[in-house]
Structure 1
Amino acid sequence: MSVLLDDDDPLVLYNSPGGWAKFGIESSEFDGTTHASGTHGDTATLAFEAITSFSGRPPVYTQGSHQLVVTIDQDVPLPTANPLNRTFFLDYFVYTTTSAAGKTVLIDDNDRSVTYSDSDNWQSSDDSDDCLERTNHVSMSAGSWVAVPFNGTQISLISAPGQKAFKASVSIDGSPAGQISQPQNKNQLFNSAVLSPGPHTINVTVLGGNSMAVDYFLVTSGSDAPIPAADPSQAPASESGPSSGIATAQNPPPIAAIVGGTVGGLVVVAIAVLAFILILRRRAKGRLTPANYISLVGP
């Protein structure tokens, strides 16, 4: 399973209080925060327990302790007039692990555990710059639904930026959990009440109005139990359950970590054994241009 850590998480250690600056002005950034630096020698360090795999090919490594160090190796000043220009922005980390107790588990819209009612009613995209991992699923067909099994004590649904008013119902373990019509907090469509620890299934059914976009789900994990398999019985009564034509649900990227952010200078990454993706966004005069993705593999 994938664990997501924000740049503001206390597990991320920044070496230079004078070099790293914290920003919170971009709604497209995860949790509305980033850390930025253009100072030579500044580092951001994350120690974590994870499984690593190189693009689904050998070598594959067992669960263990790893350390990721991102080092700025080029002096890039932070202009007072435009602090977003020519800087390195660190947004979030994602790593794969078998032990997620007490952590925030990420379930992307393209995760293979996510079930969509009908591929004809859901449109998928893999080039959405404002969405996590650049993917989302969208539907405006009344009766279409998405179901996600999870193991934890709370779950939230995050939409794509710019979500307009719509209507949808939510059920958890077959019991009504409320209706949603617009984002409640930034791009968050739904945040469940605290649940009993253990396996659950959430189902979100489109009722009408504008299209509803699914970007990702976040789960507060309460145990080390594996994510349960999808339960067709949690589908709406009007549906016959998940069909074989599931909407473009794909295997998640077989990577150990994803670092989201912006690079204006060169970055040196020192890590024991880790494959990760560095998400780049070029900012010119404070405006975003399409994201670039670079795969980096540690020694």
Structure 2
Amino acid sequence: MKRGNPWLWSAAVLVYAFLYIPLIIVVLYSFNDSRLNAEWVGFTLFWYKALFNNTEMLLAARNSLIIALCASFSATLLGTMSGLAIHRYKLRVLPVLVFTPVAMPEILLGVSILLFFLQVLNFTLGMVSIIIAHTTFCIGFVAIIVRARLQGMDESIFEAARDLGASPWQTFRLVTLPLIMPAVVAGALMSFTLSIDDFVITFFTKGVGEPILPIQIYTMIKVAVTPEVNAISTLLMLLTLVMIIIAARLESNASSEESTKPRKTVK
């Protein structure tokens, strides 16, 4: 297929337009000087001011940040250990156990966790149940990133550390962890991004109580799509985009550094 094929370029433009024009409209109409988003009236920052004066929305944002921070920390810790275990022990059952939540549809995962909490554990739904649920489906993403980082590393580094008398813990703390740290940070940022804007699993596991940001946005949309909804959606979109870019940049830089390192041949 030729590089200058007009059909290929036309298809690419249509696909990217379909993906990004709705996002651009959301951002644009967050500055619309009208309560109804039927037409463009004029530019204003009123809706961002109203958003930051909305106590319930700020509470929902605070709860979502707490959930995302706790879930990303737990998922990063467990996902890093899972990635190390998958890379080291080569058991067929480990990838299945770790990666299944990633491949499973969110609605099925949400219903499964809900039934497990209510019917098996008799657990009261709330922020703790959301954190556990988010941790469950974020572990696989961290494990994938850490495992990919480990697969690109030279195993002789770890063998040299053991030959020099380092214990398994010293090898991990002084050699393995510094080398995989970019992947760990990237996995943490990815987990934070996935957690803070998740709707489906949060909807099934939140219960009745504290407001959560994605659910709060959905509640506002059911009444009317006001520019305030556009404003909070724009801020959430910006936060998600920044996290994804940082995670991708860290993983890319780590891969580039690994590929440019000179390889020494042991004779």
Larger Rg: 2
Q: Which has the higher contact order (CA 8 A, sep 6+)?
A: 2
Judge same fold: TM > 0.5, yes or no: no
TM-score range, shorter chain: under 0.3
Normalising by structure 1, we get a TM-score of 0.23
**Larger helix share, 1 or 2:** 2
**Larger strand share, 1 or 2:** 1
Normalising by structure 2, we get a TM-score of 0.25
